[in-house]
Amino acid sequence: MRPLLRSALAILAYLLTTAGAGAAGAVSTVADEAPDASWRFRVFLDDREIGFHYFFLREDGATQKLRSVADFEYRLMFLKLYDYEHENLETWSGNCLQSVESHTDANGEPFAVRGRQDDGGFRVSGSEGQATLPGCVMSFAYWNPAFLQQERLLNTQDGTFEEVRVSPPVQESVEVRGQQQPAWRYRLEAGDLSLDLWYSLDREWLALESEVQGGRTLRYELM
């Protein structure tokens, strides 16, 4: 997501890989579907809470459906400086993405991506145009630690196929819901993006943190 180069708050758009008009309204709809697994994060810029990013996973045999919704708003006093809404729906077979549809409103700038696997590869269209990718691709699927083994990942906000680098894990502790717990921390880099991801010893996603422009910190905390 090249929007991350525009400002500290634009990096939110890069990390969230979600989008959609009316994202807040979509949350209750998704929650009503009784997902098999979910990750609900409060999102902070430094110490200020600016919104949420939720992930809902449903399993149907060998198929998984992942819907994510995000809604951020950053204000200075009574002035709204940044507003972001995103909704993303992905269908997976194992660790291979089968389809994706996303809609994003990044401070009034719309983005949309559609992609589907067929016999010729994974065909995707987005703000960067159309492309045919290899037959088995992964997105920035933070919820699935298998994505950390990839050298390139699909950015589901604009449809680009990003080169990524992931450092070997470091064992440390991280605070989750007010309690310290042991975790593996990975450093992921993609272009100018650098972020830390924490997973439990059982490989469950626990937290995300990134230093953004101006030395500020973007942080995901599990609810």
Asked if residues 184 and 171 have their Cβ atoms less than 8 Å apart, the reply is yes
Asked if residues 150 and 138 have their Cβ atoms less than 8 Å apart, the reply is yes
30 has a pLDDT exceeding 70: no
Angstrom CA distances, 209 to 26, 96, 164, 215, stand at: 25, 26, 17, 12
CA dihedral sign, ordered 135, 140, 145, 150:
positive
Reported as type and span, the H/E element at residue 14 is helix 10-16
Average pLDDT over residues 159-168: 95
Average pLDDT over residues 31-50: 86
| Global confidence as pTM | 0.83
Q: What are phi and psi of 142, to 5 degrees?
A: -55, -30
pLDDT, residue 182, reads 98
107 has a pLDDT exceeding 70: yes
pLDDT, residue 87, reads 95
- pLDDT category at 23 given cuts 50, 70, 90 is very low
Average pLDDT over residues 65-89: 89
The better pLDDT of the pair 1, 55 is held by 55
Q: Which of 32-36, 66-70, 123-127, 209-213 has the lowest mean pLDDT?
A: 32-36
The full set of domain ranges for the chain reads 2-164
3 has a pLDDT exceeding 50: no
CA dihedral sign, ordered 82, 107, 193, 91:
positive
Asked if residues 81 and 103 have their Cβ atoms less than 8 Å apart, the reply is no
Q: What three-state secondary structure class fits 38?
A: strand
Asked if residues 89 and 30 have their Cβ atoms less than 8 Å apart, the reply is no
Give the rounded percent of residues in the chain with a pLDDT score beyond 90: 65
148 has a pLDDT exceeding 50: yes
- pLDDT category at 151 given cuts 50, 70, 90 is very high
Q: What are phi and psi of 189, to 5 degrees?
A: -130, 135
Across the chain, what does the average pLDDT equal?
Answer: 85
The better pLDDT of the pair 160, 22 is held by 160
The C-alpha atoms of residue 90 and residue 31 are separated, in whole angstroms, by 16
- Written as one letter, the residue type at 158 is D
- pLDDT category at 222 given cuts 50, 70, 90 is very high
Q: What three-state secondary structure class fits 145?
A: helix
- pLDDT category at 5 given cuts 50, 70, 90 is very low
Average pLDDT over residues 144-173: 95
pLDDT, residue 33, reads 59
